[in-house]
Amino acid sequence: MAEENRHRHGVGERVTLLRGHLLAPLPEPVDCIVANLPYVSRAEWESLPTGIAAYEPRLALDGGPDGLERIGELLASAGPHLRPGGAILLEIGAAQGPAVIRLAEEHFPQARVDLLRDYAGLARVVRVQTAD
């Protein structure tokens, strides 16, 4: 799907796709990591509308018991993959802000960590901005 989208949007020559688990395939540190990881908790999965649960792959949505399994894994491994002054932007569930902020501060104690709101006013992105 990513390959198809890359060509559909005319960025085929500017976007390189790497296959692998989370940040493992990165050949060198980057300036910015943007991720929309699975963040639906197991309890939330059971109550998802049929239109979502029946058509979206569970692997794309199921974030483990509390919804933070992959987010925590990425934050724990991101340090060596991020250049000084780099940033991480993570899409999260609207109620996960405080928990993800705690994880980010644990792994990046010197970084500025904050929540960004979507157009509906919900806190849906955690930004981690590291120092230079």
Work out the average pLDDT over 64-92: 95
Domain limits, the chain: 29-129
Q: What is the pLDDT of residues 11-50, one digit of tens each?
A: 989 998 999 999 999 999 999 999 999 888 888 877 888 7
Q: Domain 29-129 maps to which CATH number in 3.10.105.10, 2.160.10.10, 3.40.1210.10, 3.40.50.150?
A: 3.40.50.150
- Label each residue of the chain as H, E or C: CHHHHHHHCCCCCCCCCCCCCCCCCCCCCEEEEEECCCCECHHHHHCCCHHHHCCCCHHHHECCCCCCHHHHHHHHHHHHHEEEEEEEEEECCCCCHHHHHHHHHHHCCCCEEEEEECCCCCEEEEEEECCC
pTM of the predicted model as reported, rounded to 2 decimal places: 0.88
- Of 52 and 33, the structure prediction assigns the larger pLDDT to 33
Q: 67 or 88: whose pLDDT is higher?
A: 88
